Amino acid sequence: MLLFLLAAGLTLIFGMLGVINFAHGAIYMLGAYISYETGRRTGSFLMGALVATLFTALVGAVVEKLTLRPLYERPHFYQLILTFGLILVLSDLVRFFWGPGYQEVPIPQLWSGTVDMLGSTIPMYRLFVIGFGALISVGLYLVLEKSTFGMLVRAASSDAEMVRILGLPVGTIRMAVFAIGCGLSGLAGSIAAPLFPIELGMATNTIIDCFIVVILGGLGNIRGAIAASMLIGMVRAIGYVYMPGWVDIMTFVLLIGTLLTRPQGLFHRTARTA
Amino acid sequence: MKLTKFDIYFGLLLAAASIVLPFLSPGEAMIQLLTLAAIWAIFAIGFDFVFGSLGMVSFGHATFLGVGGYAVALATQKYGLPFYGGAVLAIAVGAAFALLFSFFALRVSGIFFALVTLALSQLIFILADSKLGSFTGGSDGISGVERPNFLGIDFFDPVNYYWFVLGLYALVMLAVISLRSSPFGRVIAAIRDNETRADQLGFNVNRYKQITFVISGALSGLAGALLASLLMYMNPQMLHWTTSGDVIIMTLLGGSGTLWGATVGVLVFEFLKEWLSSWTEYWYGILGTVFILATIFFPRGIIGELEKGFATYQKNRRGGAR
């Protein structure tokens, strides 16, 4: 589910803006560090998550406004490459403020227990992550498909020129989408913070995982992303039990196979274009 | 492509600088830096052969560089081959991996091409880093990579090695110039500019792409061999996808698709890195900022902008004479 939270932002940005955001992993890392810092100062996990989400969304808005806006009209690879530059900048900024070492965030007290389910013991926090991910996915779906804002976003992605002629601020809509995407990633970072050590490698390692989910689900397809993150999660879980050490390779083989046979993703439906 | 006046002048300038600089400012650090730049330039030229000439973004070139490095490291360390044997092997292995990648990656285009090459190269990275650790030395790498031996010249001497690399660089440059101005090069340019049309004209587009990709892989393999030999050390980091990112930055910074762009991009990158890292450890971030600004404001890259300026200058001069 964590994977979904992460991939949701990436797929949202691609689906609605056509931009592949390489810096997504870096934003995720930033979110984790921010929540660590806020949590350390205020002692509240909730506060940390909130600040991390808002801050990364703000970063996203600024980045979109300053760097991506001049690039929409150019070939796609410029955006790909530009966001690669962003990784370098964000990573070094984080290193500047927090240093190169590992940081840890304690599991919030409310969720620190364990639950017995189906004969095995499961940490409460993991259940919380699952529930929270489900909540976000439903929320995202509702916002995109049912609300006026969602309609605007979809309109702007299918025909920006027309929306502009109708007098609506396409630039602002795009900025909002990018900000939401980054905010989701930052949120994922803060949620992940208690589960994994926080480190600089997050920026370049997680993005590969995100890509896998997003490609398997079909670029820009939110429902596909949900299904794909579950699929990857299952493949990994089973892989760890039966063939530890081959898990990463299995994921990549799955990915490459998908790209070759169904580049539009495993869960693509031609009848509907998101 | 036709060599313009600009290309020739700039080439002469670069050649003069590369020969004079070692005498002007001897010092081991300078030589090391120049050698490194020349090697990376070979890599970047190889990369730009796909990126600039063919117009496809590969995010997997780290693999070709890396396997070249491993080929020479393993051949000389484990199997006792001389450096030249290793280097030839490196070129062959680079080309072979490029061929392998092309079977998968050329089935898709655009962004998907970038993503497939990225995924494949990350797979190779994981294999070399952990799965084949007993063969590749894992994340510890392999140390003590050989340097070449030629007519009794000692290439462990940095200056001699620099001349060796520079000579190879010149050969590569000549090869690329003649390739790009050959009929083959014209077809590639046609594919870049209008793939459908090239296809309609009866060219086997995929075959041309594949050949370009393989040549590019071979050049990258050579660069990898030289790099491993310069550092006398080889580790999986060379295979990591951020290496592919670096070479893209360099090429774009210098100006992709131009004759000297890749080389200039590498020089600027390496010298900026050297200079920045002398007063801050956050040079990568600053370099990233420079790069972002360059992408927004100078998408043609340094050489692209210079060429434009030179063209305007020539036009004005002619206009003034009239």
Asked if the structure places residue A44 within a domain, the reply is: yes
Alpha-carbon dihedral sign for residues B208, B210, B213, B214? negative
Q: What pLDDT is recorded for position B214?
A: 92
Crossing angle (nearest 10°) for helices A2-17 and A202-217: 70
Query: Residue A115 — very low, low, confident or very high, per pLDDT cuts 50/70/90?
Result: low
Task: Based on DSSP, count helices (H) and strands (E) in chain A, helices before strands.
Answer: 11, 2
- pLDDT tens column, B69-78: 888 888 887 7
Asked if the structure places residue A244 within a domain, the reply is: no
Asked if the structure places residue A91 within a domain, the reply is: yes
Looking at the predicted structure, is the pLDDT value of residue B40 above 60? yes
Query: Residue A269 — very low, low, confident or very high, per pLDDT cuts 50/70/90?
Result: low
Q: What pLDDT is recorded for position B140?
A: 64
Asked if the structure places residue A258 within a domain, the reply is: no
Looking at the predicted structure, is the pLDDT value of residue A164 above 60? yes
> Is residue A36 within 8 Å of A198, Cβ to Cβ?
yes
Report yes or no: B122 at the A interface, CB cutoff 8 Å. yes
Q: What pLDDT is recorded for position A272?
A: 43
Which parts of chain A are beta strand (E)?
Answer: 114-117, 120-123
Q: What pLDDT is recorded for position B241?
A: 80
ipTM summary value: 0.75
Mean pLDDT on A232-252? 74
Closest-CA residue of A relative to B251 is A81
Which tops the pLDDT comparison, A253 or B144? A253
Looking at the predicted structure, is the pLDDT value of residue A175 above 80? yes
State which residues form the domain around A103: 2-200
Residues 85-104 of B with CB under 8 A from A: 104
Query: Residue A120 — very low, low, confident or very high, per pLDDT cuts 50/70/90?
Result: low
Report yes or no: A245 at the B interface, CB cutoff 8 Å. yes
> Is residue A13 within 8 Å of A176, Cβ to Cβ?
no
Give B127's contacts in chain A (Cβ within 8 Å): 249
> Is residue B165 within 8 Å of B150, Cβ to Cβ?
no
Contact criterion met (CB < 8 Å) for B288 and A85: yes
Looking at the predicted structure, is the pLDDT value of residue B186 above 50? yes
Asked if the structure places residue A239 within a domain, the reply is: no
Residue B316 is encoded by which pair of tokens? 């004005």
Among the partner residues A89, A212, A259, nearest to B108 by beta-carbon distance? A259
How many residues does this entry show for chain B?
322
Q: What pLDDT is recorded for position A264?
A: 66
In DSSP notation, A162-217 reads: HHHHTT--HHHHHHHHHHHHHHHHHHHHHHHTTTS-B-TTHHHHHHHHHHHHHHHH
> Is residue A141 within 8 Å of A226, Cβ to Cβ?
no
Q: Is B174 helix (H, G, I), strand (E, B) or coil?
A: helix
> Is residue B219 within 8 Å of B46, Cβ to Cβ?
yes
Looking at the predicted structure, is the pLDDT value of residue B151 above 60? no
Residues 292-311 of B with CB under 8 A from A: 292, 295-296, 299
- pLDDT tens column, B206-218: 888 889 889 999 9
Mean pLDDT on B94-101? 90
Average pLDDT, chain A: 76
Which tops the pLDDT comparison, B51 or A18? B51
- pLDDT tens column, A203-216: 777 777 777 777 77
Which tops the pLDDT comparison, B84 or B221? B221
Residue B45 is encoded by which pair of tokens? 């030229």
In degrees, to the nearest 5, what angle opens at C-alpha B193 toward C-alphas B189 and B196?
A: 110
Q: What pLDDT is recorded for position B234?
A: 76
Task: Look at chain A and report how many structural domains it folds into.
Answer: 1
